[in-house]
Amino acid sequence: QVQLAESGGGLVHTGDSLTLSCAAPGRAGLAMGWFRQAPGKEREFVAAINWSGHSTYYADSAKGRFTCSRDNAKNTMYLTMNTLKPEDTAVYYCAASRTGNTFGSIVQAPPSNLDWGQGTQVTVSS
């Protein structure tokens, strides 16, 4: 499988918005998701989306502020982040299930069962 590739990270201020993209060739029929890892912390789940984009699931920290979407025609998944906070500062990773098409395939899968991108840094200054 072609590697996943995130883009769109950067330095923003508290309250700003930012949209991350994940180029995901060949994953149109598979569930995908976003994770993040802050300095000194373990990687944590952020959001997941099913193969069609009609069903999503979010971590409590993302509910109401982040929106996960996808455009299968463009082989791309997005994470739109609004009202960003300093605690959102992290490296953001996209992930794809190798076989599953529901968001449970992301949320419940061991990390070793997912394909990963290299990550993109998001820094939110106060």
Residues 54-93 pLDDT 10s: 999 999 999 999 999 999 999 999 999 999 999 999 999 9
Whole-number Cα distances in Å, 71 to 44, 54, 62, 114: 24, 11, 20, 20
Distance from the Cα of residue 14 to its chain's centroid: 20
Give the span between the Cα atoms of 122 and 35, in whole angstroms: 12
Task: Give the pLDDT of residue 2.
Answer: 75
Task: For the chain, give the percent of residues with pLDDT over 90.
Answer: 98
Residue 112 confidence (pLDDT) above 80? yes
